Amino acid sequence: MKNLNIDNQIDNITKNLILSMEKEIETRDKEIESKDKAIQSKNKEIDILKNELEFLKTQLLNKNKKLFGQSSEQIDSNQISLFNEAEKESDLKQAEPTVEEITYTRNKPAKNIGKKDNLSNLEIVTIEHKLSEEETICSECNSSLVEIGKKEKNILKYIPAKLYIERHVTYSYACKSCEETTGQANITTTKSPATLLHKSMASNEILAHSMCLKYLYALPLYRQEKYFKMLDVNLSRQTLSNWMLGAANELGVVYDLMKKQLLESSYIQADETTLKVIDDKGRESKSKKYMWMYKTGGNEDSIILYDYQQTRSSSCPKAFLGDYLGYLQTDGYAGYNKVENAKRVYCLAHIRRKYYDIVSNLDKEALKKSRAIIGFNYCEKIYAIEKELRESYCERDDFFDIRYKERLKRTAPLLDEFEQYTKVEIENALPKSPLGQALDYTKKLLPRMKAILEDGSLEVDNNAAERAIKPFVIGRKNWLFSNTGRGARSSATIYSIIETAKSHGLSVEKYLVYLMDELSNGTASIENAMPWSKLLPEYLKIQSK
């Protein structure tokens, strides 16, 4: 049996049948293998198409959100627990991190500030309503009426604006005796009050008022023309425009000193936005023009400067900042890299926004599978630390020292984990997908975010700069464009002074009048009239109570 040869046990017909069946099986196996490869290829194509579809859907949702949705980046309260899941080093083979919830405690003031508190700084004019002598006689018995009590009622009154011409007549005097004796009349001439535009009829008060209407309350000059007409005064927008240009020219010395002070600071935040400018032929310029904004970091001795430029070229910040050596915080625009000597700090809010645009469009089930939620949560945790530190220590003199130490202890590990997450995830994400773009943006910016670990005075984001440029953006919606580049540069000067005065808690219109009076009369050094000067009169400051 051991030496039995099966081939000898079957006939040739059976052998041929077996060989035929083996070939058929081999052929079928190859067909199945080929079909499996085709199916796998098709599945890959389907996955690619699905990703492209998701990308297009996300793009459409983001476009619609920008057009019709709210501008705030607040998170839906129903989704917040999903957004705050635990982060781990990403591994596609591992399960999603478990979901945790980060809660924030907001300290509300114990006392409610009512209307009386808000009006407590106003002058009170008391008017007593008493009976006349004849009316204090009782109509029944003719006895005298006796006062038994009183009530008070407060009415907030408004005095309408009033414009009038103040005509100053100056006289010249001569000494006739000296003239007879020496031939010299010894002439003395009285002086009229000096104004910023000494050849114009515009007072410093009307200049300050018109500036505030345009640059503080976004009321364009053609509407101011109608406003003044309601006060029975015909002031054309051309006249008002000439006043603005002239005032900006005179205030240039203030702008220059503000710029000098800005460049001496150790920390600057910057941003830029577009504006429309009309060319000399009255047509809208085809190329975009830009208003750049630079402000000192932090809140003390704040300086906010606007700089009009015709392009968004990297030469613009280079020319403005020159050889600036301090910290420069911006968004991810590479144009600021030309400021070679500055220590770059990037903005966490811009990184967070990339992930927010993804996760805000997802439902609960999609959020659980999302890889973008992890990057978003790193941003949230860093912000939670910043908020906690600010609420706990911001009133202390050593706040920056405390924040520096706490960041090294708590924020530094998060930044390292965030960076590792980015390196791992970017290998698996489609480059053109929203997540791929967010990861690529993070990879470029996150290393420079670590600069906040060097100095406790540095902020984690550039939001203060965005808030500082917002008044210009709001004003742009109203006046739409600037007539010529000179007008845009004048706007930059006036905006700079107004926004800096606001940041120091000054009543802007009162301060502008004071500043122009000081410049007109030359009664004090310009340094003492700057918005941050400790020598400014108290009446210029907005009272906190």
Angle made by CA atoms 194, 199, 201, in degrees to the nearest 5: 80
Three-state secondary-structure class, residue 202: coil
Report the distance separating Cα 146 and Cα 137, nearest Å.
Answer: 10
Spatial CA neighbour of 383 closest among 65, 78, 79, 83? 83
- Contact (Cβ atoms closer than 8 angstroms) between residue 471 and residue 367: no
- Contact (Cβ atoms closer than 8 angstroms) between residue 472 and residue 348: no
pLDDT for 282: 54
Q: Taking the mean position of all CA atoms in its chain, how far away is CA 343?
A: 21
Report the distance separating Cα 476 and Cα 463, nearest Å.
Answer: 20
Contacts 24+ apart (CB under 8 A), 247-250: 247/196, 247/197, 247/207, 247/211, 247/494, 247/516, 248/489, 248/490, 248/491, 248/493, 248/494, 249/490, 250/196, 250/197, 250/516, 250/519
Beta strands in 437-504 (DSSP E): 481-483
Structure-token pair, residue 334 = 């590479």
Residue type at position 416:
D
Q: What are the CA-CA distances from residue 384 to residues 24, 390, 492 (Å)?
A: 68, 10, 36
Structure-token pair, residue 473 = 């953006």
Which residues have a Cβ under 8 Å from the Cβ of 340 and sit 6 or more positions away? none
pLDDT one digit per residue (tens) for the chain, 545 residues: 444 455 555 667 777 777 777 777 878 877 787 777 777 777 777 767 776 676 676 667 666 666 655 555 665 544 444 444 433 333 434 443 333 444 444 454 545 544 445 677 788 999 999 888 888 888 888 888 888 888 998 888 888 888 999 999 999 999 988 888 888 888 999 988 899 998 899 999 999 999 999 999 888 888 999 999 999 999 998 999 999 999 999 999 999 999 999 999 999 999 998 887 765 555 566 677 889 999 998 766 799 999 999 888 999 999 999 999 999 999 988 899 999 899 999 999 999 999 998 888 888 888 888 889 999 999 999 999 999 999 999 888 899 999 999 999 999 999 999 999 999 999 888 888 888 999 999 999 998 899 999 999 999 998 888 888 877 777 666 655 566 678 888 989 999 999 999 999 999 999 999 999 999 987 668 899 999 999 999 999 987 65
Residue 427, CB half-sphere, CA atoms under 13 Å: how many?
7
Q: Which residues face 416 on adjacent strands?
A: none
- Contact (Cβ atoms closer than 8 angstroms) between residue 495 and residue 215: yes
Report the distance separating Cα 475 and Cα 483, nearest Å.
Answer: 14
> Which residue is associated with the tokens 């982060």?
87
- Contact (Cβ atoms closer than 8 angstroms) between residue 300 and residue 505: no
Structure-token pair, residue 150 = 């009183």
Report the distance separating Cα 373 and Cα 444, nearest Å.
Answer: 19
Which residues have a Cβ under 8 Å from the Cβ of 403 and sit 6 or more positions away? 389, 393, 456
Pairing of strands 327-329, 304-309: unpaired
> Which residue is associated with the tokens 């996150």?
446
Residue type at position 213:
L
Q: What is the largest CA-CA distance in the chain?
A: 164
Structure-token pair, residue 430 = 């489609």
Report the distance separating Cα 265 and Cα 455, nearest Å.
Answer: 14
> Which residue is associated with the tokens 């999603």?
96
Three-state secondary-structure class, residue 537: coil
Q: What are the CA-CA distances from residue 370 to residues 191, 342, 420, 434, 436 (Å)?
A: 76, 37, 17, 12, 13
Three-state secondary-structure class, residue 299: coil
Pairing of strands 267-278, 481-483: parallel
Spatial CA neighbour of 193 closest among 520, 523, 511, 515? 520
- Contact (Cβ atoms closer than 8 angstroms) between residue 206 and residue 212: no
- Contact (Cβ atoms closer than 8 angstroms) between residue 236 and residue 251: no
Residue type at position 489:
R
- Contact (Cβ atoms closer than 8 angstroms) between residue 314 and residue 303: no
Contacts 24+ apart (CB under 8 A), 531-535: 531/497, 531/500, 531/501, 531/503, 531/504, 531/506, 532/301, 532/302, 532/303, 532/500, 532/504
Q: What are the CA-CA distances from residue 341 to residues 295, 328, 336, 338, 448 (Å)?
A: 18, 10, 11, 9, 14
- Contact (Cβ atoms closer than 8 angstroms) between residue 90 and residue 425: yes
